[in-house]
Chain A
């Protein structure tokens, strides 16, 4: 059996990103506030993607990502520097999402699916339609997952992070994360089966 704790994806490139992050943090702390734009540019898209999936709303996800970046900037001085900077940043992002979800503000908003905007590149039109329907149904089902399961599923399956990285971001143990991801898969399978039966 291979190890679940795979090395950080893209070893050399992620080291490079980490070095660039540390450089941006140092320069920001030294008073070059524009240096923080490097962090925004390197990680803004991931933050938006994760936050948008957590709250099932793209524009709200962007809002939460901006808030996470602003909170990170203000508290840069408290970053201990003993891990990857982006794991700390994403943790702040996840906390922003949790705060929002806990506040219950999401309850009144309909879940948004992102699959309809970009077609799956499939040459078979029937299959494309099937894939698209499955993707849309899956997006809706992900939005209905309990927050803890959604968080683990999104980071593992849609952001393609490994369990060690997710542990570094969320602080949840690897074994608990595995349980959460699998429970999410079971819930999603049931939700999709219910949807099929209903239609």
Chain B
């Protein structure tokens, strides 16, 4: 068996036709061996991740802050990329366009069942769908096409991402509907493959006290 070809197949570098061609070129024994390699790779991908114990952030920060505070070197300062006025204007225009689009979408959401009705999934937005008297069904969504696992953590679930896993929808958009109390204000963050991410489309966000920002959901 050609090791190079086998490695390319295991690395996911062959398209479907190339993979078929590779596998059919092997003898039965070689094919069995190739699948044994694939089983090792597959099992490795599914191995449970060793996770930090509770309170890791606080312990790590205590250790971090015991060190000498960082200093900006002159050379680094001189070489640091600067935001040009043109880029700043472009960024502001993008933010304005995004805010306008979100406002228009939310306005439309009051009269239609949800973003999927348009055939175009919403990106990290929250909508009211079929509101009962005391609760609303809040839909949270974020586009993360390459993510393996996405969850949402907020003050509605004790900031526990394990309590609210999102499901993968079309076009890499992850969605979760939550029944929440009408008239309440909630704070939340998405957890994308273990990384805490502020909802990029949230109309408002607040400092979380840990160097990040929580998205705000006002129902």
Contact = CB atoms under 8 A, between A and B. Distances in A.
Interface in B160-219: 192-198, 200, 209-212
Nearest to A179: B7
Interface in A103-120: 114-115, 117-118, 120
Contact of A118 (B13, B37, B48, B146): B48
A70 B70 contact: no
Given A2-B14, A36-B61, A138-B43, A29 B72 contact: yes
Size bracket, chain A contacts: 35 or more
Interface residues of B, number: 66
A175 to B, nearest CB: 11
Contact of B70 (A3, A62, A77): A77
Contacts of B200: 12, 16
B45 A158 contact: yes
B27 to A, nearest CB: 17
B37 A41 contact: no
Contact of B147 (A10, A32, A42, A58): A10
B211 A39 contact: yes
Nearest to A153: B44
Given A38-B211, A42-B196, A77-B76, A157 B45 contact: yes
A199 interface: no
A108 to B, nearest CB: 20
B148 interface: yes
A59 B76 CA distance: 35
Contacts of A33: 65, 69
A189 B210 contact: no
Nearest to B189: A41
Contacts of B6: 182
A4 to B, nearest CB: 5
A55 B168 CA distance: 34
Given A40-B64, A41-B196, A158-B47, A1 B18 contact: yes
B210 A38 contact: yes
Contacts of B76: 77-81
A160 B50 contact: no
Contacts of A168: none
A139 B47 contact: yes
B47 A138 contact: yes
Given A33-B69, A41-B196, A2 B15 contact: yes
Interface of B: 3, 6-8, 10-15, 18, 36-37, 39-41, 43-53, 56-57, 59-61, 63-73, 76, 79-81, 142-148, 192-198, 200, 209-212
Given A10-B192, A13-B197, 17 more contacts: A2-B14, A34-B61, A37-B57, A41-B210, A48-B50, A58-B50, A66-B59, A70-B67, A78-B76, A82-B81, A114-B50, A131-B43, A158-B44, A160-B45, A163-B11, A182-B7, A189-B37
25 contacts: A2-B15, A13-B144, A29-B72, A33-B65, A36-B64, A40-B64, A44-B56, A46-B194, A49-B51, A59-B53, A66-B64, A73-B65, A73-B70, A114-B47, A115-B47, A117-B48, A118-B48, A135-B46, A135-B48, A138-B44, A142-B44, A156-B11, A158-B45, A181-B7, A185-B10
